[in-house]
Each structure stands twice: as structure tokens, then as C-alpha cells.
Amino acid sequence: MLVKRVCRITALGGALALLAGCAASGGIEEEAMGAYFARDLPGMPADPLMSPVDNPILEARGLHNPPPTLIRRALLAQHERWVGTPYRLGGSSSSGVDCSALVQNVFSDTFRFDLPRTTEEQVRAGLEVERDALRPGDLVFFRPPGVYRHVGIYVGEGRFLHASTSRGVMISELDNRYWQRHFWQARRTLEPTLLARRLGETGEG
């Protein structure tokens, strides 16, 4: 009888230990999730931080002419959504995306602004701007070796969001020797006058 009781107590203790382990694991996952939403975004000051209820993308959607600071926050939030997505020529989804499709997706999702699909068409959109006059949301174009052109979105502080052929969706520095060497031009499609003209043509607003 004593042996049976010891066995039962041991089994019960093991079950409780397993339950405690699951509870501890869940706590770690919740803590990790909280840490994910609380961590600083690239190039952002300590405040503001991303959180489940702090969504600059939704804020930018609600404005016809979002300010540069909000545009930057929205683009960094898009980086969080897309980061690590592999590059795939012709791709346009989270399973694989090329540079012009990423730009098209981000502009459509963030600004409700329809850009053409290809880099060759996007480089004719908006107005050309000087490199030293770049603002968040401007398109930056490059002519690397080969037949293809490359495009990204300037996010401020010398950085741009793009789909790298080698590392997928990421943020790079314009002053990087490679990108500096192959910089081509920049275009501004979010100019207030252009947005106003678009809204007038579509009857929005």
C-alpha cells in the first residue's frame, strides 16, 4: 500500500511539474511578444514605440497629406511587416517580392496611392528631386550592373526601405559605398500638389 501511495504522489507531482512548465512557457511567450511590440524601430528615438494599438499605417491612410514624421513612422512599420521577405523577381507577396512590387504594395497599403508595377514606369512618376532634398516617402532609384534597375523608399536619416536581391526586404544606408556608386535619381510622388490633383481626378475627398 505504501508503495502504491508513493507512486501516486510521484505521478501527481510529475503532472503538476508539467503544468507548471507549460504555464512558465506561456509566460515567456507573452513576455517575448510584449518585448517585440515595445522594442525600438530602426533609426527611431526611444519614443514613440510600436504597439498593437499604435499603428502609424492606419494614421497615414486617414490623411490626404500626411506629415513627413508620420510617413516615416508608417514606412518603418511597413519594414516590420515585410522584413526578411525573400527577393523574388516578379514576386509581389510575403512569400517573395521584387523591389518595384514592394514599393507598389507599401504605397497602396499605406497611402492608398497607386504606383505603376515596374521600376521603368515608377521612375517616370512624380517629380525629380535632388538627393540632398530627400524627404520620407520619396522614391530612390539605382542603376547597378546588369539590365535591371532598382528602387526603394526613402525613410529618412539617410536610409531607404527596399527588397535587396541578396538579403530580401531590409533597410539600407544611402551612404553605403555600393548604393552611393549606383545612385541614379529620386522622385517625389507624395507632393501635396500631386496628391491634390489625383484626388481631384478621382473625385475623392
Residue 30 in grid coordinates = 507573452
Helix spans in the chain (H)? 2-38, 56-61, 68-82, 99-111, 119-122, 177-182, 192-202
Rounded to whole angstroms, the maximal C-alpha distance in the chain is: 89
Residues 6 or more apart whose CB falls under 8 angstroms from that of 96 comprise: 85, 86, 87, 88
Active site residue 150: yes
Residue 126 in grid coordinates = 512624380
CA 162/CA 169 separation, integer angstroms = 6
Catalytic residue among 22, 79, 99, 182: 99
Catalytic residue among 7, 22, 64, 150: 150
Beta strands 92-93; 150-156: pairing state? unpaired
* Nearest residue to 134 via CA among 72, 64, 198, 86: 72
Beta strands 168-173; 159-164: pairing state? antiparallel
Catalytic residue among 7, 22, 162, 182: 162
Active site residue 99: yes
CA 73/CA 155 separation, integer angstroms = 8
Active site residues: 99, 150, 162
